[in-house]
Amino acid sequence: MTPEEANRLVREIEAMADALGKRLYRGVLKTARVWNPTDIHDKDVLRRVLEQMRMAQRELRRLDAALNRVEPGTLVSILRSLRLNSLDQVDNLDVLSTVVLAIEQAARSTP
């Protein structure tokens, strides 16, 4: 990988910070055992981190779409069942996916 490619991947990762929120962004970086994407020197790790962030972004879009089909308060009860007070506390893809699936299930059962 050329330095230009690495820099492009780092910039793409950094650009995901606002979309994912600080905690989820840091949680994905934590899977690579770094706090800053510039500390990742392996091209495969850079690509994997970027793909995980893209997956998280897709999950957040799914969540947003499903939230439009459920009663207010549904998200709060799901988060509380996971011992979370808000989405801002979600720090990994597994928990995010759990929340998304629960909201989608609630949306399917809502008339």
- Domain of residue 63: give its range: 3-109
| pLDDT per residue as tens digits for the range 56-87 | 999 999 999 999 999 989 999 999 999 999 99
Give the number of domains in the chain: 1
Residue 83 carries which DSSP code? Answer: T
Record the pTM: 0.90
108, with CB counted inside 10 A (0-12, 13-18, 19+), is: exposed
Q: What does 51-78 look like in DSSP terms, one character per residue?
A: HHHHHHHHHHHHHHHHHTTS-TTHHHHH
Mean pLDDT calculated for residue range 22-30: 96
Res 31: pLDDT: 94
